[in-house]
Structure 1
């Protein structure tokens, strides 16, 4: 079976790994438009649920991801004029560049052909393949070439955001809110390496234009943001990834397959960055598609049923996360409405922006803001993380 993955992001590379593990006889090629080692973005975040899945599907690449990941505890909420608040939990983060290196190396070890600087301009020029996996992002050219069939819809969010990086290392996942003369502006930041953190800045369009950010060149705009958030950055600069200010684009597709073409990752769906699930969902798409394909190369007549099974499984799994992402992005669009709340109530509103928590979570939040109770919660969660890690096959080769 010949498989071509258009797009060398986490979805395409991880699917190539799993498909090759399932049947080494498959001829798999990954086409990536960027040069090797070049990617957009800084770090990605994930949690135990994805790690459990990764170890179940390929312990080798999972162990390498685990070893490279930055481990952080709890969430910190800093809002101007309020005491710092804390949210329970822990997570993991990893530089996107490092993640792609790990997955690319693993794919090549298994015999996958990875071709860089292959900028597809016409999907009709793709080499012959039994299956074409379109994992070329939210602006997928493969999907758009058959736009009427896939029924893709794009909804543009109201807020402006910019994806930045900084050499300042935050000790944990941090939300920071500052009030300016033009209104509130905030950041989502997390460490992903010993000397780097992701720093996503977001604000309403009124604040964006009121601060003059719409008229500033990138260097001036980044310097202005570094000035606004100086107390959080300890004087460190901010760098952007060359994309500038954006509005979030929520992509959905009515159908995910068309003949021998199937959508995956952001080409099929996007979720707002505020819930940090984009990489997780892309890699879980890869798992589901690998599961749907028979272990040995199927006759062409069986492919439509396999692709339909994949689409149904993933749409069912995505539905609650898509609802949560909508609620989360809507909360941030209304963020100024919550700014007057006391610190603990504000941080709880941020934590419960999806509207899913039972009443006892509010009591737990309020009771764990003190140092002693917070330390006990962190110990409990650290024990949970250790116990889950202990059950995974960490002795797999990490290379």
Structure 2
């Protein structure tokens, strides 16, 4: 990787982090959406087993993207990892507790035929889908607003916020957008994956509402990006300099996030993809084009997440109480040799992960039917 300079390596890893987060939202996102829908669109044990088995073959593999994203932050942006994972510790604990609850619910639900037993685990699955979707969105909202931390001259970080402080009107809008986006994705997945019947049509009906809510909430979020407070690097950023947050001067400016689109017009693709993908998903559901709806919900997730990334560039985690402590692509990365080594590993192994994922989905292709669920006691 000697032909790649430090600036390019930092940009590549910024883009790769976005790819991993989008991969998680698209793959594990429909799992979370389906889990959040379970108690409401499936009536009776057979219908609920139908919904569960629409995601059962692939949900474990989908979580690989979450692990890869966390690993990428740890390795490529260690300061971001240290501050965000310690500052958002209780929020992360809620997410991990919910994600741990999901496999337990999958495994234990079928251990007893008692309807009350199964209903409790169905609600556990609901929690395991709703809580991560909500908290992830709230976390993104806090990143856009800036987190309450500061870094002293010895590079010691101090976080002064608390769990309840993460929930503000704007961050709740982001959390609800995340929930609506993933519920739409889950609805589109069920429309493709389950047989035409009561569950299929209920999923489509919920998907219409989720698409409309997503459009409204994304428009509100875009209004914040366009007219709210953002952060900017004063002067020209040193893309080749050492990773030290104290070497840059950051200022707080109204509309700073929108200014990125003036400097880099191609970035407008991200919000257009967010709105366009959601509209495509809505049209696909209304006109019974299930595959188009799933493509649309996937594009919507990609566009919404990418909008956050490109609006904030080069910031990754700004500070709301000390702008000069803000972490950027240029001042918070690992060394050039570390980034180059990890890129070499990624070039080898990421295609393997993608190929295996594609193969697994190809093997599991096809609709889940009521007849299969009733006849096969080994299914959940």
- TM-score norm. by structure 1 comes to 0.28
Bigger fraction of residues in helix: 2
TM-score after normalising by structure 2? 0.29
Q: Which has the bigger relative contact order, CA under 8 A and spacing at least 6?
A: 2
**Quick check: which one's strand share is greater?**
1
